[in-house]
Structure formats: structure tokens, C-alpha cells
Structure 1
Amino acid sequence: MDLSLILMGVGIVLIIISFFLQDRTKHIEKEVEELSIGIYQETNGIKRRLKIVEEELLLEPNFKVQSPKPAPKKTPMETFQQVASQMKNTHPSASQGQQASGNTKPIHSILVSQVIELDKQGLSIEEISKLSTLTPDQVRSILSNGGI
């Protein structure tokens, strides 16, 4: 019986000591939970931003990105101008009925909104024309009609 009493005493002492020791797993679990919540929030934010960009660019849901071809580095404005010219060519049905005098091609709604925003920023018609790939007459037409 002496051995059983000793073992029972040691067990009770260990149980009492375990109450006073801090549980490290709770701290680690809390950190993992905070990390997973942060990742979840970041993922949702990225999804929302991607959805907004897709809507702005009028991309279809089944849009597939082609692998990029090696090309010389371009400035962001050159890239925008290239995309804008491609959109004018590929999405004529999505463009508004804006027409410049002597030009029968409609102006895409993204370009119209860009011209209006650049005008709000105080840029001159010539500067807006250079940035938006439109002629000064087209820019004047958009601004005089208010984008309609």
C-alpha cells in the first residue's frame, strides 16, 4: 500500500502544479485563429477588388488570360493606351453613341469616363488628348456633351 499511496500523492501534486502552469497551446491557438481571420479578410478584399476591375474592363466571366509575350517595358500610360485601343476595336457594342465631328466611330464609355475625370483634375484639352488617345475635337465633344 505504500507504493500506491506514493503514486497517488505524486499524481495529486502533479495535478495541482498543472493548474498553476500556463497553457501554451491556448496562446498558439489564438495566434493561428487571428492569422486565419487575417488571411480570410485579405482574400475577400482581393476578390472584391478583382470583381471591380473586371466590371470596369467589361470582362466576360469566361475570360482567359493568355501567357504574356516578351515585350519591351512600357510606361503605364502606353499600356493603358494599348488596352484602350484594343477595347475600342473589340467591344463596339459596349460603346456609347458619342461621335466626334467627321469621325463615325463611337467612343468607348471607359474613355469617356477617363476624359471626364482628367478634366475634373484640371488638365488641358491637349493633355487629355495625349493621355486618352483621342483627338482634341473628340475631347471637346465629350466635355461639351457632359459624357452623354
Structure 2
Amino acid sequence: MEFSTILMIVGIVCIVASFFLKDTSKKLEQDLEDLSISIYQETNSLKKRLKIIEEELLLEPSFTVKQDTSKKQLEAYKKSAQATAPKPAISANNSQQINEILVSQVIQLNKQGYPVDEISKMSTLSKEQIITILKSGGNR
């Protein structure tokens, strides 16, 4: 009988002690939530920085992106930069000196199934130039 009373007393003491001890799981949950929020904020910050860098790479090197620049202003700048870009010079055999990047872009767009008209609009090359590139397979 004495063993069972000792077990009951130890059980009661443990129950009473549990009311006075701090709950560490709440602190652990709070720390985990704080960590999750900070990771989310850092991820959003990195996404914003990456978006700004991508926009800078699509524009001329002299252009600087400001925080308050809207998408409409960026699109207007891109269009004006394309309109004022110098056209490649025509050589003696009536084929223009076309950048290798444009050639590979035209070939890739053709492989993706874009028609010559759309490729012409996207690459600022004439339809004849695009047809010439596709016939030659990108070789000069």
C-alpha cells in the first residue's frame, strides 16, 4: 500500500509543478514563426532585386532604373530605344550584316512555330532577311 501512495503523491506533485513551469513549445512556435516571416521578407526582397536587374538587362546600358519608374514608362522607353537604334549596314551583295544573336533568335523562334511575320515584328528584321536566315540555316 505504501508504494501506491508514493506514486499518487509523485503524480500530484508533477501535476502541480506543470502549472508553474514555462511552456517551451510556445516559445519554439514563436521563434519558428519569426524565422518564417523573415525568410518570406528576404525572398520578396530578392525577387524585387532580380526583377530590377532583369529590366536593366533588357534596356540600354546607360539607362538607370529608379524605384518609382512605372511599367508604362519602361515600355515607352524600350519602344523609343528600338525606334532610334541604328540599322545594320547593307553590304555589296545586298545581305545585311546581322548579329549572331539575332540569327540564333530567329532560328529558335522558327523552331517554336512562330510565323515569319511575327518573327519580323519581334526581331526588327525584314521578312526577306528572316527568310534568308532560315534558308541558310544561320550560316553566312
TM-score band w.r.t. shorter chain: 0.5 to 0.7
Q: What TM-score, normalized by structure 1, do the two folds share?
A: 0.51
Q: Which has the larger radius of gyration?
A: 2
State the partner residue of 1:123. 114
Q: Whole-Å Cα distance in 1 between the matches of residues 72 and 100 of structure 2?
A: 26
Query: Counterparts in 2 of 1:21-40, with a 5 A limit?
Result: 21-40=23-42
Q: Whole-Å Cα distance in 2 between the matches of residues 28 and 18 of structure 1?
A: 20
Q: Quick check: 1:129–1:139 contact (8 Å CA) kept in 2?
A: yes
Q: Whole-Å Cα distance in 2 between the matches of residues 66 and 38 of structure 1?
A: 24
State the partner residue of 1:146. 138
CA-to-partner distance for each residue in 1:75-128, whole Å, 9 max, x for gaps?
Answer: xxxxx8x77653333443xx7x57587697x76887656433311213332442
State the partner residue of 1:136. 127
State the partner residue of 2:83. 89
RMSD: 4.4
Q: Secondary structure at the match of 1:146?
A: coil
User: What is the total number of aligned residue pairs between the two structures?
Assistant: 121
CA-to-partner distance for each residue in 1:62-82, whole Å, 9 max, x for gaps?
Answer: 34547958xxxxxxxxxx8x7
Q: 1:36 to 1:66 in 2, by over 3 A?
A: closer
Q: What TM-score, normalized by structure 2, do the two folds share?
A: 0.52
Q: Which runs of 5+ in 1 are unaligned?
A: 1-12, 70-79
The CA deviation at 1:23 is 4.7
Q: Quick check: 1:84–1:111 contact (8 Å CA) kept in 2?
A: no
Q: Quick check: 1:98–1:142 contact (8 Å CA) kept in 2?
A: no
State the partner residue of 2:54. 52
